[in-house]
Structure 1
Amino acid sequence: MLVISSFEQSASLEIAIANLEQNGISKDRILAVPFDKRREDRKLFDSIHRSDGVSLFDVSAALGTAFSVLGASFGFVLYWGPIIWGLIGFAVGAFLGFIIDYFFTKRHSKNRKEIKSPVTEVVLIVECESAQSHLVEDILWTNLALGVSQVPKLNNNL
């Protein structure tokens, strides 16, 4: 049986490994895999293959719509007419919204702390007998595991 769990890098992880060893799980049956942190800065523009959920075009679309309505409304009394002034209003509003969103996003990405929800930093894989799996799971939950799962071992090559 394989028991797979995720932990934050902390003393709880070390205590969990020590407790597993004290309860008869040998060191060669425990595998702890730490993850590397992302080193590159976040991209400001999303692509079709990658999106981080932060959009630079929400405020642009809203201000573009508002300014185009205002431009078209005032365009009835201005020289170039409502269509041209509506397009000018859209361009000015979209540009202004993009600039506001760009600086707001850039400022908050610099000041942004780490993600507040727990982030998995270490995956712990424990190979044990089926009879020990509940004991191992209890030890991991007691030592603040973020998640625990049991997987039956398919063959001896794992």
Structure 2
Amino acid sequence: MISMDIPGWGNLEVENVVIDLNGTLATDGKVPSEVKKKISSLAGHAKIYVLTADTQGTATEEIQGMKVELIKIEGKESKEGKFNFLKTLNLDKTVAIGNGSNDQLILREAGLGIAVLGDEGISVTALRQADVMVKDISDALDLLLKPNRLTATLRE
């Protein structure tokens, strides 16, 4: 578990990290090797779930060897599907990371929502629901691996 006390925000205990795959963790369906290493480090502190509708069809191959659980969201209603999965976890102890319009509910309802700009851009609806925005997935993971960064951003 990752635990941090953020002035004005409160105590944040992270047991779960829910990450959107395409556009967030992966660009054009590929997860960079540097990101895989950070995921491996983070997996020692929290359970990591990768959510995807598998738009690129590469999800199973791309997460091979990563210490994550792949959750495939079926059907046209991926926003609700992602949110329904999130509700199976302890929301207050879960961080959601995403970039798409279909990530807006998980970004809003998780204990902490991190919006990722990335190479594929970010939906304004997702951005409005997040607590923090970063330029890429590497920075998002670093907020959890180096908690003082998150404290500096969120403190009041």
- TM-score for the superposition, normalised by structure 1: 0.19
Higher relative contact order (CA 8 A, sep 6+): 1
More strand by share: 2
Larger Rg: 1
- TM-score for the superposition, normalised by structure 2: 0.20
